[in-house]
Structure 1
Amino acid sequence: MKVARFYAPGDLRLEEAEQRPLGTDEMRIRVRHCSACGTDVKIFNHGHHHLVPPRVIGHEIAGEVVELGTDLTGGAGWAVGDRVQVIAAVPCGTCADCAGGRMTICPGQTSVGYHYDGGFAEYLVVPVQVLAVDGLNRIPQGVGFAEASVAEPLACVLNGQELAGVGSGDEVVVIGAGPVGCMHVRLARARGAARVFLVELSRSRLDMSAAVVEPDAAICGSEVDVVDEVLTLTGGRGADVVITAAASGAAQEDALRMTARRGRISLFGGLPKDKPTITLDANLVHYRELSIVGANGSTPAHNKRALELIARGDVPVRDLITHTLPLDRLPEAIRLVGAGAAIKVTIEP
């Protein structure tokens, strides 16, 4: 089978690999789609501290069951031909955080495409750790493999908005017009937001994304003062929720100044490891009674609910997929994502 293996920053090789025999408690799927994301760009450029090369990368995976270990046949509930989506972040399922329903912060969490071979390959052996936490999900009828591969980032968006309490009547600002930002716009609307504003520094990227998700206002941060614009749009009050879906410390600092009293700020996008700090005006937090929350990945349950949101049409994702490429064009896909020249790119091995 063909696989894309990461060896070192800038060294991603398309190779032929043997399919290893299945263990009795394992399952093999034919990967139908594996979408690329900003994390794949970071891995390609810099590697990752959890990833020991060589490793098949790719973690937004949807496919079809082609082989079952003997322990999974019969009464296990799975069959050859089942269409499935695979979680990316794999909690241990047994620690105090997992037992308390806090799987996103499991200290023993592992990840597909980091600790286990991922989905930029023709076939994938689903890690038993995924099966142990109910992390393999059936794709609902009417949802294609490409759409199902986008359920993983949507699950992360769902976790972030739950933590930030996005709800009915809220005025929401989303900073960052990449695929995650687009999903934040659509999910906020599905959760009852009154208005959603999309902010982006790049005019071309903002125009591309806004044309698809149609926010109530599209604000280009390289052309106007973003804080002033949000305050003007909200009559000076500020937004109820600001979501920083960009790896930008400046965006996080701006978020503090554009949030309404008793508002919530979601620091959804992590910052670069060499620049992890911001200047926080603590008095704004104190006197305005602001809440600031983080957001780290998703749980298996979030993935299931993301698939349901897609299936019901509450959060459409098909039109966010602007490019579909074969596995041997994965380097091109990574370049497209890194340049912000696409909304969502999916690989069809």
Structure 2
Amino acid sequence: MLVARFYAPGDIRLEQAPEPTAGPGQLKIAVENCSTCGTDVKIFRHGHHHIDPPRVIGHEIAGRIVQVGEGVEGWAEGDGVQIIAAIPCGTCPECSDGRFTVCSRQKSMGYHFDGGFAEYMIVPEAVLAVDGVNRIPEGLDFAEASVAEPLACVLNGQEIAGVGEGDTVVVMGAGPIGCLHVRLARAKGAKKVYLVDVNRGRLDMSAQIVEPDAAICGEEVDAVEEVLRLTDGRGADVIITAAAAGRAQEDALKMVARSGRISFFGGLPKDNPIISLDSNVVHYKEISIFGANGSSPEHNKRALELIATGAVPVADLITERMALSDVHKAIETVASGTAIKVTIQP
């Protein structure tokens, strides 16, 4: 079978490998779709401290079961499934308290276990142990189902920040995650949703599909001033920084309303993670700032349901479908920002 293995930064190789066999407690799936994201770009360029090469990467996974390992119940050959990416241990103090997204012993598909850039893959026992395999509803496209993983992360972030009925929301970053944030905020009853990006081409491409109430190009106007103008000087109830930029986080403090909430959704580069923050703004305006890290198995289930019911449409966000042999092109396309969501179909 064909796989895409990461060996070192800049070195992902297409190779032939033996088909795996499901052991006790495992499932073997034929990968139908494994979508790509900015994390795959980061891995390709810089590697990751949790990846011990060589490793088959890819973590937005949907496929069909072709073998059920001994002792696995409730699943059968032919079942369509979506697989979680972040795997909590289920037993540490954080997991015992229900805080699976900050599990101190978390593992991940495509990092600790071979992922979905392959024709076939093994779903490890650790995934089944935390109920991390989700049945794809009848009629739902596998590519759409693969987007449940990033949507689950978006769902976690918006729940932490309390996005809800009547909110004015600013999403900073018009990539696929930003588009999902716009769609989910709408589904949660937000009154207004504004989309901000410094790249005019990416902003226009995304805004044409998700139709925010305003699309603000930060290279052409002062985004803070524009948000304040749109809100009559009040600011927005929720700011979501879906961009790996310290400037976005700093600007969030300048455009948030009193008693507003800020989600630091996008992580910053490891070599430049420090921002300037006016503590008095947080203090006197009673601003809440939240982190958001990945998703839980339950978030994945609910994200898949949101997609299947049409509450959060994702089909039109999938703008490129490529073969596994085009994995390098797929990663380059994600890096260029010329597509919204790129999915690989092994």
Q: What TM-score, normalized to structure 1?
A: 0.99
Instruction: Determine the structure 2 residue equivalent to 1:183.
Output: 180
SS in 2 for 1:124: strand
Distance (whole Å) between structure 2 residues aligned to residue 194 and residue 142 of structure 1? 32
Distance (whole Å) between structure 2 residues aligned to residue 262 and residue 20 of structure 1? 53
The answer on whether the counterparts of 2:21 and 2:28 sit within 8 Å (CA) in structure 1 is no
Instruction: Please show how residues 1-349 of structure 1 align to structure 2 within 5 Å.
Output: 1-72=1-72, 76-349=73-346
Query: Which consecutive aligned stretches of 4+ in structure 1 deviate over 3 angstroms post-superposition?
Result: none
- Displacement of 1:133 in angstroms is 0.2
Unaligned runs of at least 5 residues, structure 2: none
Q: How large is the Cα RMSD of the aligned pairs?
A: 0.5
- Displacement of 1:70 in angstroms is 2.2
AA aligned to 2:178 is G
Distance (whole Å) between structure 2 residues aligned to residue 277 and residue 330 of structure 1? 33
AA aligned to 2:272 is K
SS in 2 for 1:208: helix
- Displacement of 1:69 in angstroms is 1.2
- Displacement of 1:141 in angstroms is 1.9
The answer on whether the counterparts of 2:177 and 2:242 sit within 8 Å (CA) in structure 1 is yes
Distance (whole Å) between structure 2 residues aligned to residue 242 and residue 206 of structure 1? 17
Deviations 1:211-264 (A, max 9, x none): 000000000000000000000000000000000000000000000000000000
Distance (whole Å) between structure 2 residues aligned to residue 141 and residue 310 of structure 1? 12
- Displacement of 1:26 in angstroms is 1.2
AA aligned to 1:202 is N
Distance (whole Å) between structure 1 residues aligned to residue 219 and residue 21 of structure 2? 54
Distance (whole Å) between structure 2 residues aligned to residue 333 and residue 21 of structure 1? 28
- Displacement of 1:142 in angstroms is 2.5
The answer on whether the counterparts of 2:20 and 2:121 sit within 8 Å (CA) in structure 1 is no
Distance (whole Å) between structure 1 residues aligned to residue 216 and residue 108 of structure 2? 35
AA aligned to 1:327 is L
Distance (whole Å) between structure 2 residues aligned to residue 25 and residue 159 of structure 1? 28
Distance (whole Å) between structure 2 residues aligned to residue 141 and residue 83 of structure 1? 9
Distance (whole Å) between structure 2 residues aligned to residue 87 and residue 118 of structure 1? 11
Please identify, of 107-116 and 137-146, the stretch whose mean Cα deviation from structure 2 is larger: 137-146
SS in 2 for 1:71: coil
The answer on whether the counterparts of 2:68 and 2:76 sit within 8 Å (CA) in structure 1 is yes
Instruction: Count residues in correspondence.
Output: 346
AA aligned to 2:35 is S
SS in 1 for 2:151: helix
Q: What TM-score, normalized to structure 2?
A: 0.99
SS in 1 for 2:71: helix
SS in 2 for 1:70: coil
Distance (whole Å) between structure 2 residues aligned to residue 259 and residue 324 of structure 1? 38
- Displacement of 1:140 in angstroms is 1.3
Unaligned runs of at least 5 residues, structure 1: none
Please identify, of 139-148 and 174-183, the stretch whose mean Cα deviation from structure 2 is larger: 139-148
AA aligned to 1:233 is L
Distance (whole Å) between structure 1 residues aligned to residue 39 and residue 275 of structure 2? 22
SS in 2 for 1:223: coil
Distance (whole Å) between structure 2 residues aligned to residue 178 and residue 262 of structure 1? 28
Distance (whole Å) between structure 1 residues aligned to residue 273 and residue 147 of structure 2? 28
- Displacement of 1:170 in angstroms is 0.1
Distance (whole Å) between structure 2 residues aligned to residue 297 and residue 70 of structure 1? 30
- Displacement of 1:20 in angstroms is 3.1
AA aligned to 1:29 is I
- Displacement of 1:312 in angstroms is 1.0
